[in-house]
Amino acid sequence: MVNTTPGDDVDIQLIPVEQFQTFLVVTSRVAGFIGAIPVLSGAQTPGKVKTGLVFATSLVLFPMMADAVPKTNFSPAPFLLLILSELLLGLLLGLVSRLIFTAVEFGATVIGYQMGFAAANVFDPQSERQVALISQFQNVFAILIFLAINGHFIFFQTAVMSYDLLPPGQLNLSGDAVPYLMELASHMFEIGVQFSAPVLAVLLLSGLILGILARVFPQLNVFLLSFPINIGTAFIVMALTLGMVSTLIRREFDILGERIIIMLQLLGP
């Protein structure tokens, strides 16, 4: 506790309002980028960890990004809209990255239904909902690949580059950004089909053979026999094609940074 007398001069260092507002603008964009990281966007990551990471990253990047923020007199309403637009930018970029995991989940769901795991669901802590068992396995596999190749660094790198590509306050949704998102969504189904194609082809062949056996041996209970055969066959094919699936997932993560940069360019004026 500091005791002062009326005659003493107390020098209190205050942060200028303009500088603090600039820091909030930078923090909002950094929060959007960090919130877009697939591993951190899930509910299993504590909120204190996310907040601390956003604040620490903003302190590190603020000296480099402060000059890119327009020097204007922030009134309450335009300043709030600017903060919301920066957060919306992070959500859009998070959607671009999330589509890859959605494609993996979609392909694995199709496999699970075909192999007889339609009712085998588990709780996914990331999306906070019930997902198919095979979908959860493939989703965890994709997350491990994402972390192994340091995919989360892409978001930190693009956060710095984004101020040159899209300065704050210039977010434009009327351009080609929405059609580009639609194109990525259609590509998601293509990736999902590529993931599930080998297993589906083998299961289709297995169903054809069991159908022939049912006609040749009517007394054979093909329905009960198909469950263990389909499950065992699907797991064997998944194990044999794990390297191919890993290559496909890694290819999508390798071009994720390029897609984010294209998205930033399309969101510009």
Predicted TM-score of the model (pTM): 0.75
Q: How far apart are CA 123 and CA 128, in angstroms?
A: 7
Alpha-carbon distance values, 220 to 172, 223, 225, 234 (Å): 64, 9, 9, 22
Q: How far apart are CA 38 and CA 75, in angstroms?
A: 34
Q: How far apart are CA 213 and CA 220, in angstroms?
A: 8
pLDDT at 12: 44
pLDDT at 1: 46
pLDDT at 11: 47
pLDDT at 261: 85
To which H or E segment does residue 142 belong?
A: helix 133-148
Q: What is the pLDDT of residues 211-238, one digit of tens each?
A: 888 788 777 777 777 778 888 888 888 8
pLDDT at 17: 67
pLDDT at 127: 60
Task: Give every residue of the chain whose pLDDT is below 50, as ranges.
Answer: 1-2, 7, 10-12
